[in-house]
Chain A
């Protein structure tokens, strides 16, 4: 099996946040903590404005920034290639939070440790999809072998957007079918 990762079809995403809420529910997250975060952006000048959404979570990078920085080895690359976190080892030093260019790891105040998306490993091991994937009413999210996903969704999928850090930094395992307007440089984030 090749590299595992998320596929996000931006062209059909309606920005409904169902994935975000399903993730929060699955992981029982505190107020203010999001493992999957949907953001909405706007480009252009009235009347030629366009909007797009981006649903982001841990990209389970091939060259993750969070893994080497962890002083105690709590963040590690699992056998299936996803980036996993060992809560038992974590000392809550927040180094990974600062190191991740996607701001993925989240500090869980009540536990005094960091946690992040584990791509619903437990669900997957039992033959299910990650919670966010199954929650999407538009079926805009998929998780699986990146080569297969690429073959399925065509060669025009990308791994970076102007709103994201350069893919060269951490080689994210991420495929996006992006809207044309999402490739424009002058974006503004909109609070929804």
Chain B
């Protein structure tokens, strides 16, 4: 039996370091690395199911070609045939349009390994193509916080227990960040630090909180500003911090003065007692650790909420305290994608490429002219299941001449591709995983031989680039001679060795490394944004009568968006229909019982589901799990401001009970 070091590459808070035991080319056991400071040897349920994942029956084994898109008529082809089709198309498009701008890619965060940025590198190597920008998860918060906090200081989550109040605002770490619960429990055990959860949904984390505040969806900014107003009113603010480390406070306080607490209460749905209790908690503590989850950043204008919360934390002066501060998103050193693009792009490009934002990809891509987008490469992503505006995605696909999808599974997106290439799992490739949350970095060693003919993104980029260059010498500048270890040793290691304190790949094979964290510099400033208060009232009008309920689709425990759905160790129930949790208010109004079939309709689409009455849900909330099989995303859609992540939780729906005699024709999943 041999043991290897691995790191989970999911776009998750954990980025867990693990050891894998292999016997006869089979993964037989995975265990967490107890020396990893954040995860301390525990993995989540999904992690322990990786044994099944590596040999999952549903995994793709060979490159496939679909005779007609969406027909399901697949033919197995060789890698060379696949490269041939793709190369010829790229060259043809280049000839037709005189540049590579008709060629684009959509690379998601299905695998956050640094070497998966080879996809960006491969396209950068072609010169001017249609590139991707933006951050699919965190754009809303990142853009706002850049304004108020500059290069915002992310506290070390391992220090969170040093705070004297922990607030989880719109997050659910018991499902999405289980190791954080250890730190929260440590704070509770050592110093009786209270845990406060603010969430419209009574989550598993909320169940374990000392204080839980159930607020109306979309009212986070009202609540944060309401508390801020209270702090300013009773002059319980950190004046020293405000004087030395902030700007724009006077104006912010003036604007706050105009805010009415009654309005706060009516928007948030909190009682006066509850609001007073929450304010008291903020008044009594001065080292407040506040986690702003991604859940509260999924509606239009949610940036205001992040902004307001960051201001609230500033008023308490928590930023310089041990453990206190705003926990949101730990930006990696230099952006590895940019680095890859910079390195791979040819010296003499025929003009600059163009950029499309990942969050508004289908709409923006549809609008591209001269030339329109004609070829799309999808990797580490499943946009036809997880995208925001599926109608736009399908429109976009219909204008494309070639769609290539690299995936481990025949996802909704792969089913609409012309060529599907089987991707390696992370046990079958080398990689480097840097967390976006804690400060650790872990090497991922190649543990298993390739699963049938699957290949890593880097391998595909290398082979396709040299294939094109064989047909048309010098067409791609991607350095196809460099293998994974070359990339890690020559480029990533020199960049990171000072920050993380290692020297060679041999060091990385021995342990995970933690970034040497510098304390928040004395010169750092927080800038209050008083414009926040002036446009609070501009709400998006939603037709309240037709679609009275909010549809919330947060991350679930045993799936990762649409990933891991086929693993029977995790999701053994062979469901015929998705489950929609409804409040008892909706259930009694419409005489719906557990197990009834209901139709969840938005202005965009509908889906049939099995009703499950959840008495803990707010009256106006419907709760559905994300899924690839039962895709809920066709209910979403519409436009939203740029520089924001997709407003998935802006969807309003109505519920209709479906009689058993009705033909389920609306069932489009």
Contacts and interface: CB of A to CB of B under 8 A. Distances in A.
Q: Do A and B bind each other?
A: yes
Interface of A: 68-73, 89, 91-95, 97-99, 112, 169
B253 to A, nearest CB: 39
Given A69-B41, A69-B43, A72-B181, A98 B49 contact: yes
5 contacts: A72-B182, A92-B557, A93-B174, A93-B557, A97-B45
A95 B178 contact: yes
A68 B182 contact: no
Contacts of A92: 174, 204, 557
A132 B31 CA distance: 32
Contact of A69 (B48, B175, B204, B557): B48
A99 B42 CA distance: 10
B617 to A, nearest CB: 14
A71 B179 CA distance: 5
Given A71-B179, A72-B182, A89-B185, A95 B44 contact: yes
B178 A91 contact: yes
Nearest to A69: B42
Given A71-B182, A93-B178, A98 B569 contact: yes
A94 B45 contact: yes
B354 interface: no
Contact of A71 (B29, B178, B570): B178
A91 B174 contact: yes
A169 B28 CA distance: 11
Contact of A68 (B32, B45, B48, B207): B32
Contacts of B39: 71
Given A69-B43, A95-B42, 10 more contacts: A68-B41, A69-B42, A91-B205, A91-B208, A95-B47, A98-B49, A98-B569, A99-B48, A112-B204, A112-B207
Interface in B17-57: 29, 31-32, 34, 39-45, 47-49
B181 A71 contact: yes
A89 B179 CA distance: 13
Contacts of B207: 112
B224 interface: no
Q: Which 9 A-B pairs have the closest CB atoms?
A: A98-B48, A94-B45, A91-B174, A93-B178, A71-B42, A71-B178, A98-B45, A71-B182, A69-B42
Given A69-B41, A72-B181, A89-B185, A94 B34 contact: no
A112 B208 CA distance: 11
Interface of B: 29, 31-32, 34, 39-45, 47-49, 174-175, 178-179, 181-182, 185, 204-205, 207-208, 557-558, 569-570
A72 B185 contact: yes
Contacts, number: 65
Given A91-B208, A98-B569, A73 B182 contact: yes
Contacts of A97: 45
Contacts of B49: 98
Of B32, B45, B204, most A-chain CB atoms within 10 Å: B45
Contacts of A112: 204, 207
B48 A91 contact: no
A99 B40 CA distance: 15
A169 B557 contact: no
A70 B45 CA distance: 10
Contacts of B569: 98
Contacts of A89: 185
Contacts of B29: 169
A73 B189 CA distance: 12
A131 B570 CA distance: 31
A73 B32 CA distance: 15
A49 to B, nearest CB: 29
B45 A91 contact: no
Of A89, A92, A98, A112, most B-chain CB atoms within 10 Å: A98
Given A71-B179, A112-B204, A169-B29, A95 B185 contact: no
A71 B183 CA distance: 9
Nearest to A112: B204
Nearest to B207: A112
A169 to B, nearest CB: 7
A137 B34 CA distance: 45
A108 to B, nearest CB: 13
Nearest to B570: A98
A91 B204 contact: yes
A60 B333 CA distance: 45
A13 B48 CA distance: 33
Contacts of A70: 42
A94 B557 contact: yes
A95 B43 contact: yes
A90 B44 CA distance: 13
Contact of B44 (A68, A72, A93, A169): A93
A95 B16 CA distance: 13
Nearest to A93: B178
Contacts of A69: 31-32, 41-43, 48
A164 to B, nearest CB: 15
A95 B42 CA distance: 8
Contacts of B558: 94
Contacts of B205: 91
Contacts of A93: 44-45, 174-175, 178, 181, 557
A25 B526 CA distance: 60
B48 A95 contact: yes
A34 B381 CA distance: 39
Contacts of B204: 91-92, 112
B42 A68 contact: yes
B32 to A, nearest CB: 7
A68 B34 CA distance: 9
Nearest to A91: B174
A97 B570 CA distance: 10
A68 B181 CA distance: 15
B182 to A, nearest CB: 5
Contacts of B182: 71-73
A72 B44 CA distance: 12
